[in-house]
């Protein structure tokens, strides 16, 4: 989790929520972008310009799958787990 916190502290960071658009609309980390898990293979090129990528979803399962896929394609990223956890960490860092 320390690596995730370091990434979230960075000036340039990208929080990618891999849940469905409907789930994303129900609540998400402020400033995060929604790239559903099933769309990641076809949107791989978008990740190459991102820095300090932290992936999240509902529980950490889908973001874990996305992390493995992206890493196997040479894209450095971290699994932040649940979007609620990432949201909490972002809030703590903003208030620190």
Q: Quick one: average pLDDT of 36-41?
A: 98
Is the pLDDT at 23 greater than 90? The verdict is yes
Among the listed residues 57, 66, 78, 90, the single catalytic one is 57
Predicted confidence at residue 96, as pLDDT, reads: 81
Contact 7, 54 (CB under 8 A): yes
pLDDT tens digits along 39-94: 999 999 999 999 999 999 999 999 999 999 999 999 999 999 999 999 999 999 99
The residue range of the domain holding 54 is 2-95
Sorted by sequence, the CB contacts under 8 Å of residue 33 that are 6+ apart come out as 14, 15, 16, 17
CATH code of 20's domain: 3.40.250.10
User: Does 77 participate in catalysis according to the annotation?
Assistant: no
Class of residue 35 by CB neighbours under 10 A (exposed 0-12, middle 13-18, buried 19+): buried
The structural domain count of the chain equals: 1
């Amino acid at each position: 989790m320390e690596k995730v916190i370091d990434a979230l502290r960075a000036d340039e960071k990208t929080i990618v929520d891999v849940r469905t658009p409907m789930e994303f609309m129900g609540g998400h980390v402020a400033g995060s972008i929604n790239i559903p898990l099933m769309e990641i293979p076809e949107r791989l090129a978008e990740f190459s310009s991102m820095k300090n990528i932290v992936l999240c979803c509902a529980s950490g399962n889908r973001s874990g799958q996305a992390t493995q896929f992206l890493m196997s394609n040479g894209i450095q990223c971290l699994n932040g787990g649940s979007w609620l956890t990432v949201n909490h960490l972002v809030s703590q860092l903003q208030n620190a």
